[in-house]
Amino acid sequence: MINKQETLNQLHTLKLKGMASVYEASFAMPSHETLSAHELLGRMTQAEQQHRVDQKTTMFLKLSKLRYDAMFEQVHCSPERNLTRDQLLELSDCSFIDRSENVLITGSTGCGKSYLACAIGRQACALGYKTLYFGMNRFIERIAQAKLDGTYVKMLNQLEKVHLIIIDDFGLAAMDYNLKLTLLQLLEDRYGRKSIILSSQFPVSSWHELINEPTLADAIMDRLAVSAIRLELKGPSLRKNKKK
């Protein structure tokens, strides 16, 4: 005769936690609600699949290092912000990643660019896309450190495997020639294959001037902005509204 507790222990030993939770819950079911073997197996399989999805999402969120624990439901949409719910819905399935499109978010300080970028990043993690967030200063530090310790090529190879990279506050920190070359290489590696989100206080029309290196600027903007999704946020600072 099969021992229920022994079976439960075996499920835990095999690290089938989703299946184990449903199987254990079935012990307390009244006799008239007892599931057939087929129904029980179906529920256990569904629970295990969902458990693994949840684990993967948790891991991706931890590795992403998102600045904000942001969610689409909390993103404020209004005509004043120049952001509609339809625009968010178009981004919510992250199909732009499958199409290898970039997203460029611009607007004045405090208008919610970083929060929106992180909301997209969180959604991407939930849908199984590896995501990595950088503030511009951290991105510069990461590149400088990789060049110093000889892991620069390894870093580029690792970044190439990430489905979505977010670079926040683009243009606030000065870019030297090496940084511009790295940005170009990053975009070249991802062009037509992966996606990148850039947020900036400066309008896209001024980015060529920010890069301040005509040949590199042409190459960078060609790979970055062609067929990119552009979101130009407007309105007063949300931080000031929160303080009020």
Q: Which of 167, 200, 206, 216 is nearest to 66 (CA)?
A: 167
| 92 and 206 part of one domain | yes
Q: In this structure, what CATH number is given to the domain that contains residue 217?
A: 3.40.50.300
| 80 and 33 part of one domain | no
pTM value is 0.84
Q: Which of 60, 79, 103 is the last residue of a domain?
A: 60
**Alpha-carbon distances of 121 from 9, 11, 36, 60, 74, rounded to whole Å:** 37, 34, 41, 10, 14
DSSP assignment, residue 69? Answer: -
| 132 and 228 part of one domain | yes
| 35 and 77 part of one domain | no
Q: Are 28 and 44 in contact (CB under 8 A)?
A: no
Look up the domain containing 13 and give its range: 4-60
How far apart are alpha carbons 71 and 59 in whole angstroms? 17
Q: Which of 60, 81, 101 is the last residue of a domain?
A: 60
| 213 and 196 part of one domain | yes
Q: What is the pLDDT of residue 242?
A: 54
| 56 and 69 part of one domain | no
| 23 and 9 part of one domain | yes
Total Cβ atoms within 10 A of residue 185:
14
Please, what is the end-to-end C-alpha distance for the chain in angstroms? 68
Q: Are 64 and 162 in contact (CB under 8 A)?
A: no
| 124 and 103 part of one domain | yes
How far apart are alpha carbons 161 and 181 in whole angstroms? 19
| 143 and 187 part of one domain | yes
Tell me the residue type at 7: T
Q: What is the pLDDT of residue 244?
A: 45
| 133 and 168 part of one domain | yes
Structurally, the chain folds into a number of domains equal to 2
Strand order in the sheet with 103-106: 131-135, 164-168, 195-200, 103-106, 229-232
| 52 and 74 part of one domain | no
Residue for token digits 């600072």? Answer: 237
b/e map of 16-35 (b: 16 or more CB within 10 Å)? Answer: bebbbbbbeebeeeeeeeee
How far apart are alpha carbons 69 and 110 in whole angstroms? 17
| 129 and 56 part of one domain | no
Residue ranges in the chain whose pLDDT is less than 70? 1-2, 239-244
